[in-house]
Amino acid sequence: MNGSRVVVTGVGMVTPLGLTVSETWANLLAGKSGAAPITKFDPSRLQVRFACEVKGFDPLQYMDRKESRRYDLFLQLALAASHQAVTNAGLEGKFPNPDRTGVVIGSGIGGMMTFEEQCLAYLEKGPDRVSPFFVPMFIPDIAAGIVSIRYGLKGPNFCTVSACASSAHAIGEGYHLIKAGKADCMLVGGAEAAITGLAIAGFQNMKALSTRNEAPTEASRPFDKGRDGFVLGDGSTSMVLESLEHATKRGATILGEVAGYGMSGDAHHMTAPAPDGEGAQRAMRECLADGNIAPSSVGYVNAHGTSTPLGDVAETTAVKQVFGDHASKLIFASTKSMTGHLLGAAGALEFAISMLVATTGKVPPTINQTDPDPDCDLNSVPNTAIERTVDVALSNSFGFGGHNVSLAVRRFRS
Residue of 83, 246, 304, 403 with catalytic role: 304
CA 358 to chain centre: 17
Helix axes 278-290, 309-323, angle to 10 degrees: 40
Q: Tens of pLDDT along 351-389?
A: 999 999 999 999 999 999 999 999 999 999 999 999 999
Closest C-alpha to 412, from 356, 362, 329, 333: 356
Closest C-alpha to 174, from 135, 136, 142, 148: 148
Q: Chain-wide mean pLDDT for the chain?
A: 96
Share of the chain above pLDDT 90, in %: 95
164 is catalytic: yes
At 2 the pLDDT is 57
Residue of 83, 246, 341, 403 with catalytic role: 341
Residue of 164, 185, 287, 376 with catalytic role: 164
Distance CA 331, CA 192 (A): 27
Helix axes 197-205, 112-125, angle to 10 degrees: 100
341 is catalytic: yes
* Long-range contacts, 33-39 (Cβ 8 Å, 24+): 33/216, 33/217, 33/218, 33/220, 33/337, 33/338, 33/367, 33/368, 34/233, 34/338, 34/339, 34/340, 35/216, 35/217, 35/219, 35/220, 35/231, 35/340, 36/216, 36/217, 37/213, 37/216, 38/195, 38/200
Q: Tens of pLDDT along 243-274?
A: 999 999 999 999 999 999 999 998 899 888 88
Q: What is the DSSP string of 227-295?
A: ---B-BB-EEEEEEEEEHHHHHHTTPPP-EEEEEEEEEE--S-SSSPPGGGHHHHHHHHHHHHHTT--G
Distance CA 82, CA 329 (A): 36
**Side-chain half-sphere CA neighbours of 63 within 13 A:** 22
Q: Tens of pLDDT along 401-412?
A: 889 999 999 999
pLDDT at 36 over 90: yes
304 is catalytic: yes
Distance CA 362, CA 385 (A): 7
Q: Tens of pLDDT along 85-141?
A: 999 999 987 899 999 999 999 999 999 999 999 999 999 999 999 999 999 999 999
Sign of CA dihedral 193, 198, 199, 201: positive
